[in-house]
Structure formats: C-alpha cells, structure tokens
C-alpha cells in the first residue's frame, strides 16, 4: 500500500510538472518562431515539447487507471484488462522518459543564456541540446545503465513510428497556432489621412503565409516594407465602409483563414 501511494504521488508530480512545462515550452516556441523563424533550436525544442506531451499523456492514463481501480468494483475492474495493460506499459515508458525530458527541457530553455556570449552561432543555438546529451550520458554512466542495451529493448515499431508521430504532432500544432497580429497607428482617422498598419505572422515552428490583403473586398494592398502596409483614404473619400481583409494560410495543410481590421473614420 505504501509503494502504491508513493507511485500515485510521483505520477501526480510528473503530470503537473509536465503540464506546466508543456505550456512554458509552447509559449517559448511560439515566441521564438515569431522572432527567429529560421532558428535551428526550434527543431529540438519542438522534439522536447513532444516528449513533454507524451509525459502528460502517459501520466494521465496511469492516474485514470488508478482511479478506476479505486472507484470500480473488483469484478468490473478486471474486465478492463486491455486498458490495464496499456496503463502498465505507460508506467514503464514514463519512468524511463520523464527524467530525460526534464533534462533536455531545462538545458534547451537555458541554452540562450548559457551560450549567449559564445563566438560560435552553432553553439549558441544548439549548446543546450548538446549539454542535455552530455548530462544524460553522464547520468547513465553514473548509475551504470547501458544506453544501447536500453534502446534495443524498446519496441521497434514504436521507434519507427516516432518520426511520423512527431511530424503529425508538429503539423497539428502549427495549424492550430497559425495566427497574425496587426497594429494600427490610431483609433480614428480623417477621410484624407493615410493609414499605416503592420502585420506580424505568428506560428508554431512554421509561420503562416499571408495570401493577400484586401481593402473593402476589392483592392489588393501591397506591402512597402516587411509586414507594413498603407492605405490612402483620400482615394476612397466617398466610401463609408473601411475594412481590411487579411487572408493567411498555414504552411502545412494550406487551409485559409481570415482576419478583419476596421478603420474608424471621424464624421
């Protein structure tokens, strides 16, 4: 009973920390993608984010199984043999995975600060991941675990499916996170003013593509500098409506989304 309580408390601790880390990594990746979309560190940050998702999923399944064991009658619980096997498998994977996930997460998040003054850009962007590998190897060496023997014991189909699952996970988040932010200089404009506005793309590892920007559903606006557009309201002095339509699309699936900016004119 004591070991069972220890197991449950540990699982809850892993679950809560993994959830917090998932959101923190998600925010970090979104911010880095928006500011530096070509940063190499996005690759391993995305992979570590996927590992944190697995830890959340596995720990949730284990907690659900423990809850069913307590809440159901013994006869009813025994009928869930397949789910019990899944939960036991998740327990074994989780206890092997969560430590590595936290090491890679912490080192990747601290890499910008640790290697900020490095003369080599490669080390500045990838130093955290390299440091994580070194720490993992040292940890396995200290406890006497043969890493290669551990890998060979893993399910071969799971290893082969991992790249596909990572791609699908990244694609799903890239589509759901694709967005644009816009900034207009003033709240109200005169009929003869020139409106300047800025469009910034926001995404997860892959930035969305801006298809076109329309004014009043007719005229296509062209950017005169990166992400910056303007409208000469004097050309549309007789037009009461003043609406900007921005059509953008995620890079992976190509779905089209739209956002609208209302330009308020003074009477």
| Arithmetic mean of pLDDT, 223-237 | 78
Name the one residue in this structure whose structure tokens are 């009658």: 73
Q: What whole-number percentage of the chain has pLDDT above 90?
A: 1
pLDDT of 26: 92
Rounded to whole angstroms, the Cα distance separating 205 from 40 reads 10
What is the predicted pLDDT for the residue at 2? 42
The pLDDT of residue 23? 92
Please determine, for residue 125, whether its predicted confidence score (pLDDT) is greater than 50. Answer: yes
Most confident of 63-77, 138-152, 243-257: 243-257
Domain ranges of the chain: 2-154, 179-262
Q: What is the pLDDT of residues 185-198, one digit of tens each?
A: 877 878 778 888 88
pLDDT tops 70 at residue 68: yes
| Other beta carbons less than 10 A from residue 95's beta carbon | 15
Its CATH class, for the domain covering 179-262, is: mainly beta
**pLDDT on residue 147:** 58
* Residue 144 reports pLDDT greater than 80: no
**pLDDT score, position 80:** 81
Inter-residue contact 65 to 91 (CB < 8 Å): no
Place of tokens 């988040």: 173
**Residues 3-62: pLDDT tens digits?**
455 467 778 888 888 898 899 889 988 988 888 887 777 887 888 888 888 888 888 888
Task: Report the chain's terminal Cα–Cα distance, integer Å.
Answer: 75
Share of the chain above pLDDT 70, in %: 79
pLDDT for residue 261 is more than 50: yes
**Across the chain, what does the average pLDDT equal?**
78
Which has the minimum average pLDDT: 15-19, 77-81, 138-142?
138-142
pLDDT of 253 reads 75
How many other CB atoms are found less than 10 A from the CB of residue 210? 15
User: What confidence tens digit (pLDDT) does each residue in 218-228 have?
Assistant: 777 777 777 88
**How confident is residue 149, by pLDDT bands cut at 50, 70 and 90?**
low
Residue of 145 and 34 predicted with greater confidence? 34
Rounded to an integer, the average pLDDT of 71-94 is: 79
Residue 173 tokens read as: 């988040």
List b or e across 221-237, with b for residues whose CB sees 16 or more CB atoms inside 10 angstroms. beeeeeeebebebeebe
């Amino acid at each position: 009973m004591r070991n069972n309580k220890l197991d449950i408390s540990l699982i809850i601790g892993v679950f809560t920390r993994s959830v917090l880390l998932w959101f923190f990594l998600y925010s970090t990746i979104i911010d880095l993608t928006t500011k530096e979309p070509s940063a190499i560190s996005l690759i391993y940050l995305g992979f570590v984010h996927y590992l944190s998702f697995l830890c959340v999923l596995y720990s949730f399944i284990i907690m659900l199984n423990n809850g069913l064991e307590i809440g159901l009658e013994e006869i009813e619980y025994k009928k869930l043999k397949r789910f019990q096997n899944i939960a036991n498998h998740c327990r074994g994977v989780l206890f092997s995975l969560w430590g590595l996930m936290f090491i890679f997460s912490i080192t990747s998040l601290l890499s910008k600060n640790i290697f900020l003054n490095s003369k080599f850009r490669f080390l500045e962007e990838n130093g955290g991941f390299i440091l994580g590998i070194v720490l993992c190897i040292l940890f396995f060496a200290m406890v006497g675990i043969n890493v290669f023997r551990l890998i060979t014991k893993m399910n071969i189909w799971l290893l082969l499916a991992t790249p596909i699952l990572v791609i699908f996970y990244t694609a799903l988040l890239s589509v759901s996170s694709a967005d644009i932010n816009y900034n207009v200089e003033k709240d109200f404009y005169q009929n003869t003013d020139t409106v300047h506005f800025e469009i910034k793309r926001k995404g997860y590892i892959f930035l969305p593509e801006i298809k076109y920007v329309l004014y009043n559903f007719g005229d296509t606006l062209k950017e005169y500098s990166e992400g910056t557009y303007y409208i000469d309201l004097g050309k549309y002095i007789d037009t009461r409506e003043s609406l900007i339509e921005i059509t953008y699309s995620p890079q992976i699936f190509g779905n089209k989304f739209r956002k609208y900016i209302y330009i308020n004119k003074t009477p």
